[in-house]
Amino acid sequence: MSYKERLSDINRDGPVSLTQQIVDVFSGAIEAGDLGPGDRLPPTREVAERAGVNHLTAARAYRKLADLGLVTSRVGSGTFVRTAAAAAGVAAPRSGSADPGWQHYALPEETEMHSDRVVTDMLIQADQADAADLLPLSVGYPASSLYPVDRIAELTAEVLAEDAGEALQYTAIEGPLALRTALAEHMARRGAAEDPDAIISTTGARQALALVARAILRPGDVAACESPSFFGVIDSIHTAGARILPVPIDDDGIDTDALEALLRRHEIRMLAVQPRLNNPTGRDLSPERREHLIELARRHGFFILEDAIYGDIRFEGETLTPLRAEAPDHVVYVDSLTKTVGGGLRLGWVAASGPVLERIARQKRLDDTHSVTLTQLVGARFLASGDHERHLAERAIPFYRERRDALLEALGTELSPVASWVHPRGGGHLFLTLHEPLDDRELLDEAIRQGVAYVPGAAILPERPRATHMRLSFGFLEPSEIREAVRRLGTAIRAVRRARRPSAAPRSLPVA
Ligand SMILES: Cc1ncc(COP(=O)(O)O)c(C=O)c1O
């Protein structure tokens, strides 16, 4: 039986996962010499069809084969058997040889959160986009072409030439003073005067969110979170063991009257909010609601976790100061340079005042002692030299704006009869709602079949969705690709609408 025939023969009811069975088919073919060094593997779409699996399962299997060192992907040309693959294949653990099944009993029980799958799929989709002819409107970070590569290379060389001893050495838990000073000045330029000692440098804003949630919340506590939000915020609160109460947002940001009503019934310890250019709506908290929110925090004694990661990427509307400037003892501020300078640099930070700062520093020490010294020193120079402000104004904002405009134009042409969306004033995302709910799972599967991916509402809402929502991110694709992606999305929506039986009730994906 050829390996292609074996793909059609995989066992849906057996103990071995579908992904692993596909991996086994290919690694077996490589080991047996049916696939030799340099041979091209079939496109993941073909594998998915033959095996009768979702396209993402096929993509995951290819990713696993790459992790095992058996294949390599070349952007634009496909996936190929590596020259050293046969040797690697023999050494690699296969489900048949060394059976790791005992681990299922030894490991503690764990429920996979919906966002785990979304993030894993997003990274696969970004990686496999070319090979799989997939246009991922799901990827929440910009294309690498935005990053100031030459300048970062120069500054890295400078740091290594001048400060190699410091750059390769352990540093303070909070990060080098040079970076904290540059970040304090960066925040002061935005209207929130900071002492460098109020700042803790983190490994991306994602770590900052986790540290703050762990510093403030204990299992069983209640936290509130704007809805929709970023899945990392929702995860951080869940992982700290707290219960999340969703607070709706509209064009003026979080509904503070709804929050006030919740505060009458619950003891809320922390509220997570993005007051400037929320991901995914791209909207701000209005001045009246800012005031109301601060007043509520003071009256009820809760912390506000202000996530400001998109706050500088503004296309329209008045520039707003960070909320932290108005109530530094209540607001713990989280930010990073990842959406403009380089996601891989993981340059994030927290600013906080009072005992909570100590608690966050302790969590940072428990987590990873400190972030990478070299990139922190490079980041310090990038900020202090004025490069960052220039990059933001001349490159990053026009880059995102051009893509936002392309998305709005394409949506207007393709989707206005079936959907409505929130007009983003900035940021990298758009929040869309279908006029008629559709089965979330069917729609996402059909979209991927059509060659487009998005983040479904269930991953970005702390509560179970009542309508079909999508987050469409516009930083990763070229404007022409965005237009094509929206066209494919329109095709997918129409196909699922046509196939829908009138009696079928909409089915949602599980909530994180
Ligand atoms: C609102 C928001 N906060 C935090 C993060 C995490 O950012 P980082 O890449 O710096 O960890 C993201 C990333 O997508 C985000 O969208």
Distance 408 CA to ligand 1 centre (A): 23
CB of residue 278 inside a 6 A radius of ligand 1: no
| pLDDT reported for residue 89 | 45
Structural contact between residues 205 and 336, judged by C-beta atoms closer than 8 angstroms: yes
Distance 103 CA to ligand 1 centre (A): 32
The number of the ligand 1 atom at minimal distance from the alpha carbon of 279 is 1
Q: Is the alpha carbon torsion for 257, 260, 262, 268 positive or negative?
A: positive
First to last CA, the chain: 42
CB of residue 338 inside a 6 A radius of ligand 1: yes
In sequence order, what are the beta bridge partners of 298?
A: none
The number of the ligand 1 atom at minimal distance from the alpha carbon of 209 is 4
CB of residue 138 inside a 6 A radius of ligand 1: no
- Ligand 1, pocket-test mutation among 336, 341, 471, most atoms within 8 A of CB: 336
pLDDT tens for residues 406-423?
A: 999 999 999 999 999 999
| pLDDT reported for residue 242 | 97
Distance 298 CA to ligand 1 centre (A): 27
| pLDDT reported for residue 234 | 94
Q: Which of 381, 433, 424 is nearest to 403 (CA)?
A: 424
- Asked, as a colleague might, if the bond just before 280 is cis with ω within 30 of 0, I would say yes
Distance CA 263, CA 299 (A): 10
pLDDT tens for residues 235-248?
A: 999 999 999 999 99
| Residue located nearest, by CA, to atom 7 of ligand 1 | 205
| pLDDT reported for residue 16 | 85
The number of the ligand 1 atom at minimal distance from the alpha carbon of 229 is 1
Tell me whether strands 199-203 and 347-351 are parallel, antiparallel or unpaired. Answer: antiparallel
| pLDDT reported for residue 316 | 97
| pLDDT reported for residue 122 | 72
| pLDDT reported for residue 39 | 86
CB of residue 307 inside a 6 A radius of ligand 1: yes
CB of residue 136 inside a 6 A radius of ligand 1: no
**What are the two backbone dihedrals, phi and then psi, of residue 223, each rounded to the nearest 5 degrees?**
-125, 150
pLDDT tens for residues 414-466?
A: 999 999 999 999 999 999 999 999 998 889 989 999 999 999 998 999 998 99
**Which stretches in the chain have pLDDT values below 50?**
86, 88-95, 503-506, 508-512
Distance CA 269, CA 370 (A): 27
- Ligand 1, pocket-test mutation among 144, 206, 211, most atoms within 8 A of CB: 206
CB of residue 427 inside a 6 A radius of ligand 1: no
Structural contact between residues 371 and 230, judged by C-beta atoms closer than 8 angstroms: no
In sequence order, what are the beta bridge partners of 77?
A: none
Distance CA 335, CA 224 (A): 19
Q: Which of 133, 139, 93, 149 is nearest to 119 (CA)?
A: 139
Structural contact between residues 420 and 277, judged by C-beta atoms closer than 8 angstroms: no
CB of residue 336 inside a 6 A radius of ligand 1: yes
| pLDDT reported for residue 209 | 98
Give 473-507 as a DSSP string: E-SSS-HHHHHHHHHHHHHHHHHHHHH--TTPPP-
Distance 205 CA to ligand 1 centre (A): 5
Token code pair at residue 268: 């809320």
**What are the two backbone dihedrals, phi and then psi, of residue 469, each rounded to the nearest 5 degrees?**
-110, 155
CB of residue 206 inside a 6 A radius of ligand 1: yes
Q: Which residue has the tokens 């099944």?
A: 101
Task: Reduce the DSSP state of residue 199 to 3 states and report it.
Answer: strand
Token code pair at residue 120: 């894993």
Give 413-463 as a DSSP string: HHTTTTEEE---SBSSEEEEEESS---HHHHHHHHHHHTEE-EEGGGT-SS
pLDDT tens for residues 167-186?
A: 999 999 999 999 999 999 99
Distance CA 52, CA 148 (A): 43
Q: CA angle, 383 as apex, 381 and 385 as ends, to 5°?
A: 65
Distance 505 CA to ligand 1 centre (A): 34
Distance 132 CA to ligand 1 centre (A): 26
| pLDDT reported for residue 334 | 98
CA distances from 257 to 88, 276, 326 (A): 60, 19, 20
CB of residue 348 inside a 6 A radius of ligand 1: yes
Distance CA 137, CA 121 (A): 12
Contacts of 28 (CB under 8 A, 6+ apart): 3, 6
Structural contact between residues 224 and 244, judged by C-beta atoms closer than 8 angstroms: yes
Crossing angle of helices 373-384 and 149-167, rounded to 10°: 130
Distance 85 CA to ligand 1 centre (A): 36
- Ligand 1, pocket-test mutation among 115, 230, 254, 333, most atoms within 8 A of CB: 230
The number of the ligand 1 atom at minimal distance from the alpha carbon of 336 is 10
Structural contact between residues 408 and 472, judged by C-beta atoms closer than 8 angstroms: no
CB of residue 309 inside a 6 A radius of ligand 1: yes
CB of residue 205 inside a 6 A radius of ligand 1: yes
Q: Which of 349, 348, 354 is nearest to 327 (CA)?
A: 354
**What are the two backbone dihedrals, phi and then psi, of residue 131, each rounded to the nearest 5 degrees?**
-60, -35
Single-letter code of the amino acid located at 428: G
Distance 292 CA to ligand 1 centre (A): 26
Q: CA angle, 95 as apex, 94 and 100 as ends, to 5°?
A: 105
Residue 286: other Cβ atoms inside 10 A? 17
pTM over 0.95: no
Q: Which of 219, 288, 210, 283 is nearest to 251 (CA)?
A: 283
CB of residue 44 inside a 6 A radius of ligand 1: no
On the CB side of 483, CA atoms within 13 Å amount to 7
Distance of CA 496 to the CA centre of its chain: 27
The number of the ligand 1 atom at minimal distance from the alpha carbon of 337 is 10
Strands across the sheet with 253-254, in order? Answer: 199-203, 347-351, 331-336, 303-307, 268-273, 222-227, 243-250, 253-254
